[in-house]
Amino acid sequence: MIKVAVLGYGTVGSGVVQVLQDNADVIRARVGEDIEVKYILDLRDFPGDKNEGLVVHDFNIILDDPEVNIVCETMGGVHPAYDFSMSALKAGKCVCTSNKELVENHGPELIATARANGCNYLFEAAVGGGIPIIRAMNTSLAQEKIVKIMGILNGTTNYILTKMAKDGVSYETVLKEAQELGYAERNPEADVEGHDAGRKIAILASLMTGKTVKFADISTEGITKINNRDFEYARKMGKSIKLIAVAECHDGVACIVAPFMIGADHPLNGVNGVFNAVHVTGNMLGDAMFYGQGAGKLATASAVVADVVDMARNMGRELPCVWDEEKLELADYKKLVKRFFVRATVKSRGEVLNTFGSIDEVDLFDEEFAFITSHMSEHDFDKKIANIKGVIKTIRVED
């Protein structure tokens, strides 16, 4: 019998308890042992909840109970989640988490502490919600040199962009609606400015390289400047606009989070609404994609419980994860070669033609036109664009 403590009885934590209880029979059949929730740590009481008898307010009850083998940290935030996780690991208890902020800030330290104490620290649910990308990076893709990762890693922004594309309504209108529906926070900055996606690609880039990629080093550009005209051009060209987090290996690893126009034949093109996806290119495997719900109570909880199952099957055994504390200096993302979508005023057509040569022009509005450049580095593109006064908007392109 494996006994579990869940830290935090909020959305994800209550989902974890539900998955462990409702799917107890399949879990028992596959693990060969019962897995039971013994404690739920929360500051609140939950009178009337069927698990109210499991609720405790003092973390030390969990820490001091030798029966507890596994701790699920679903609190979010760095403190006290960090302290609780470190204490549990030092006591030889396995810990798994949905907390991307903690993993991005302290992942290698927590993994090393787990190893030093004969247990594991897993974080499948911290990236991509229900999408099983972390375990794939550590196992199914371990034989690959990953050359590129492109992820739609934030549910809120993908919901907003999908809605803008389908209904032709403004960013502000959709954001307000998303806030009313609870899909977006009242302070949406972490999502719409790409910070959330940036933390997640930092984690994936760390697993890709085995070293530590810091979110603070990653350039992020949000979706707040994307408007309906951009979508009208995208539609005309058979493309979609997505907030993409990129980690690309080419003379070092470069990362960026930014809106991209995605070509019709790219598998990320049709990833809509609250769904997320991670597109991985390996040197032998070629392209693969992992798709699923990027957030949501039960999808995220299911990923946490996948970690519980993995740890329960591997008590006292180190699960594979190569992520050292050594910091990776990122390469300059402006060296990456791609195409660029450009909107410019009709007045600047002469400058555009002088700078870019012949272009395949798209005309949808009287006073402006748009085109997509050939492949070039972002440095070269910046230099060219500096010559043109009438540039209205530029968006990176992935075909």
Cα distances from 44 to residues 7, 10, 390, in angstroms, run 12, 10, 57
The smaller minimum CB distance to a copy of itself, of residues 68 and 262, is found at 262
Distance in Å, CB of 324 to a copy of itself, minimum: 10
The smaller minimum CB distance to a copy of itself, of residues 138 and 394, is found at 138
CA–CA gap between residue 346 and residue 368 (Å, rounded): 5
Distance in Å, CB of 185 to a copy of itself, minimum: 22
Place of tokens 């993993």: 103
Distance in Å, CB of 340 to a copy of itself, minimum: 24
Other CB atoms within a 10 A radius of the CB of residue 357 amount to: 9
Place of tokens 């690991």: 89
The smaller minimum CB distance to a copy of itself, of residues 30 and 225, is found at 30
Q: Report the DSSP pairing between strands 35-41 and 55-56.
A: parallel
Enumerate the H helices of the chain as residue ranges: 11-22, 24-31, 59-63, 81-90, 100-116, 133-138, 155-167, 171-180, 189-192, 195-209, 228-236, 297-313, 349-356, 378-386
Distance in Å, CB of 136 to a copy of itself, minimum: 6
Q: Would you call 214 a catalytic residue per the annotation?
A: no
The smaller minimum CB distance to a copy of itself, of residues 99 and 209, is found at 209
Exposure of 18 by Cβ count < 10 A (0-12 exposed, 13-18 middle, 19+ buried)?
middle
The smaller minimum CB distance to a copy of itself, of residues 86 and 289, is found at 289
Distance in Å, CB of 131 to a copy of itself, minimum: 7
Output the CA torsion sign for 302, 307, 308, 313. Answer: positive
CA max distance for the chain: 76
Catalytic residue among 163, 200, 239, 297, which? 200
Distance in Å, CB of 151 to a copy of itself, minimum: 14
Q: Which helix (H) or strand (E) holds 364?
A: strand 362-365
The smaller minimum CB distance to a copy of itself, of residues 305 and 330, is found at 305
Q: Report the DSSP pairing between strands 219-220 and 253-262.
A: parallel
Footprint of a copy of itself (CB under 8 A): 15, 18-19, 22-23, 26-27, 29-31, 124, 130-132, 135-136, 139-145, 210, 265, 267, 269-272, 275, 282-293, 296, 298-299, 301-303, 305-306, 308-310, 313, 317, 320, 322
CA–CA gap between residue 398 and residue 108 (Å, rounded): 32
Residue 144 is classified by DSSP as S
Return the active site residues: 200
